[in-house]
């Protein structure tokens, strides 16, 4: 009798302890620890440096990598600022021919992956491309343009692909300012352009900084475009160290340097933005500046040039190339689509489901530990796919060795269970795109009043039933948006897929890389067109959301 009572007291004590700790806090901490592990493993790689490989890298590649990284940061950063802020001001504040069209069309380059625009530019502008061939027919065989495979070429491609991040956020900031601040500036005697530089730009600085930070993160994370341009960066060096020198430790140490650069940039951007606040002006419709004379056509020409180079040119050139390779639409191509869709759907479902649980946990137990765990779980979007691939491979290889040692007495069949499997690839996608899913889900949950959960709990419903019967029906549109955004991002992801895919799991992005590495631009056109068509879906969502907001 005494033993049964002691057992009951022990069970009740454990139950009270579990309730005090909180299952949702445990879920958040566990997910945060799991998704933060690749970052930690990458940083710990410096505990075992590969001296011989590093000596070679320091003598040959490292100075070039650092120089090229600086070129990308300053070149792309300056270009997206000029293009994004300039076009945002023109479409939000000014009136010129075609403004209503360009207002939404200037977001379309987001649908074109950077590596797709890169090989279109190289194929179109190179010496044997259609442009220079036509120019030699006009001006003689000695005519030659500067090589497109150059630092200005790669900076231009990156700027054309990533300027919409700055454009979208800055345009929203300009529209939110209203006309009161500009009218006050005009009363003080400022011209429209002086008001732009001295009033509108400072007020929109947080949006400009956030958009530029996003563009630079994507630039540093890029692998496909810089590989096509033969422009050595950390991502190409990571690939070379892994598959060229067969040293995953050296690859991890290169990834750690890139990771520190990105995290330092994020810290600086958040510190600078922490004291800044978005200023909202009047809600009245802004009276647009009517551009006159040559200025109105210059505005139309600038918007047309950016849209033409960033979206129209690649779409037309891809269609021309693809029309000559219709025989590639065979069983192999269908297999690539099947693999791409399978990975996209599976990763999207897992990521969005986990994002929903994390968002719910943050509301149920909003203490500092849970908040920090959720933040750690969403850090992956700042990491390049190559960095994630290295960290996940190191972590899963270590875990594989533990599993192999554990089953060795029973006749283990090998040492590779998780590394190189579909599990590694899905984990990379979840870590990389958790922030995308969490943002969409969390914004949807913000519309649900806490009283609904309290009412359901008072009627005897558990958390599982509350999520299933209350939360999911209300946030279904947000969940579908998150599924679409994550699925499309997964389909376009190249570095992580290239480095972690199991044998036989080629995707459209991998096939594009293989063809562009060989310089077979026309064969890469069919899968590239497919990815561009898929990428239009989230861009349409962004356009519709922007139209509803303003």
Residue 402, SS3? helix
DSSP structural state of residue 502 = P
What is 333-351 written as a DSSP string? HHHHHHHHHHHHHHHHHHH
Domain boundary among 323, 338, 353: 323
Tokens of 492: 């376009």
Print the domain residue range for 243. Answer: 64-323
Q: Are residues 44 and 171 in the same domain?
A: no
Q: What angle do CA 254, 258, 264 make, to 5 degrees?
A: 145
Task: Examine residue 337 and state whether it is found in any structural domain, yes or no.
Answer: yes
CATH number assigned to the domain comprising residue 264: 1.10.3720.10
- Rounded to 5, what percent of the chain is helix, strand, coil? 80, 0, 20
Nearest CA to 207 among 182, 239, 156, 170? 170
Task: Examine residue 354 and state whether it is found in any structural domain, yes or no.
Answer: yes
Task: Examine residue 6 and state whether it is found in any structural domain, yes or no.
Answer: no
DSSP H helices, 275-328, are 294-307, 313-323
- Whole-number pLDDT of residue 347: 92
93 near 286, Cβ under 8 Å?
A: yes
Q: Are residues 443 and 318 in the same domain?
A: no
Residue 95, SS3? strand
223 near 113, Cβ under 8 Å?
A: no
Q: Are residues 101 and 243 in the same domain?
A: yes
Cα separation, 349 vs 360, in Å, equals 17
- Whole-number pLDDT of residue 481: 81
Q: For each successive 10 residues of the chain (550 residues), what is the average pLDDT?
A: 61 56 76 82 75 73 87 93 92 87 90 91 86 82 82 93 90 74 65 69 80 86 89 86 76 81 74 54 61 87 93 92 83 88 91 88 80 83 81 84 71 63 89 86 75 67 72 80 86 88 86 88 90 85 65
Cα separation, 499 vs 494, in Å, equals 9
Q: Are residues 418 and 329 in the same domain?
A: yes
- Whole-number pLDDT of residue 279: 46
Residue 290, SS3? strand
Element (H, E) at 423: helix 422-445
Q: Are residues 110 and 202 in the same domain?
A: yes
Element (H, E) at 94: strand 94-95
């Amino acid at each position: 009798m005494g033993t049964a009572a002691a057992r009951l007291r022990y069970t009740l004590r454990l139950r009270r302890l579990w309730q005090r700790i909180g299952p949702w806090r445990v879920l958040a901490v566990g997910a945060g620890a799991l998704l933060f592990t690749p970052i930690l493993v990458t940083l710990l790689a410096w505990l075992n440096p590969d001296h011989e490989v590093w000596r070679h890298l320091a003598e040959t590649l490292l100075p070039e990598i650092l120089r090229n990284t600086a070129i990308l940061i300053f070149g792309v950063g300056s270009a997206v600022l000029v293009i994004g802020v300039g076009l945002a001001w023109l479409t939000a504040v000014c009136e010129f021919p075609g403004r209503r069209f360009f207002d939404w069309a200037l977001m379309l380059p987001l649908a074109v992956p950077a590596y797709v625009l890169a090989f279109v530019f190289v194929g179109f502008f190179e010496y044997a491309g259609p442009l220079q061939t036509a120019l030699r027919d006009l001006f003689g065989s000695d005519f030659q343009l500067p090589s497109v495979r150059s630092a200005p070429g790669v900076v231009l491609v990156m700027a054309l692909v990533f300027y919409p991040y700055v454009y979208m956020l800055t345009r929203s900031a300009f529209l939110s300012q209203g006309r009161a601040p500009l009218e006050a500036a005009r009363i003080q005697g400022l011209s429209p352009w002086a008001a732009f530089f001295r009033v509108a730009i400072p007020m929109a600085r947080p949006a400009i900084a956030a958009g530029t930070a996003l563009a630079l993160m994507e630039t540093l994370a890029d692998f496909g475009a810089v590989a096509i341009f033969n422009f050595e960066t950390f991502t190409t060096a990571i690939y070379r160290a892994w598959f060229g020198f067969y040293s995953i430790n050296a690859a991890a140490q290169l990834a750690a340097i890139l990771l520190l650069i990105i995290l330092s940039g994020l810290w600086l951007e958040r510190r600078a933005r922490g004291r800044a606040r978005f200023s909202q002006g009047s809600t009245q419709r802004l009276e647009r500046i009517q551009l006159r004379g040559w200025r109105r056509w210059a505005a139309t020409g600038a918007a047309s040039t950016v849209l033409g180079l960033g979206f129209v040119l690649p779409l037309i050139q891809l269609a021309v190339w693809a029309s000559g390779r219709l025989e590639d639409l065979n069983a192999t191509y269908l297999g690539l689509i099947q693999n791409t869709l399978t990975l996209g759907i599976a990763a999207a479902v897992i990521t969005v489901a986990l994002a929903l649980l994390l968002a719910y946990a943050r509301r149920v137990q909003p203490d500092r530990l849970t908040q920090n765990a959720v933040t750690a779980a969403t850090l992956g979007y700042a990491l390049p796919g190559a960095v994630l691939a290295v960290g996940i491979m190191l972590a899963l290889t270590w875990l594989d060795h533990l599993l192999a040692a554990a089953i060795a007495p029973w006749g283990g069949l090998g040492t590779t269970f998780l590394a190189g499997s579909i599990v590694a690839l899905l984990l990379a996608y979840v870590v990389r795109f958790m922030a995308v899913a969490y943002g969409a889900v969390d914004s949807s949950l913000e519309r649900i009043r806490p009283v609904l959960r309290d009412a359901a709990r008072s009627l005897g419903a558990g958390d599982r039933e509350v999520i299933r019967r209350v939360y999911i029906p209300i946030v279904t549109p947000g969940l579908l948006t998150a599924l679409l955004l994550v699925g499309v991002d997964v389909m376009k992801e190249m570095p992580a897929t290239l480095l972690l895919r199991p044998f036989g799991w080629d995707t459209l992005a991998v096939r594009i890389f293989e063809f562009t590495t060989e310089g077979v631009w026309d064969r890469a056109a069919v899968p590239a067109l497919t990815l561009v068509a898929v990428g239009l879906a989230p861009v349409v969502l962004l356009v519709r959301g922007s139209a509803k907001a303003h």
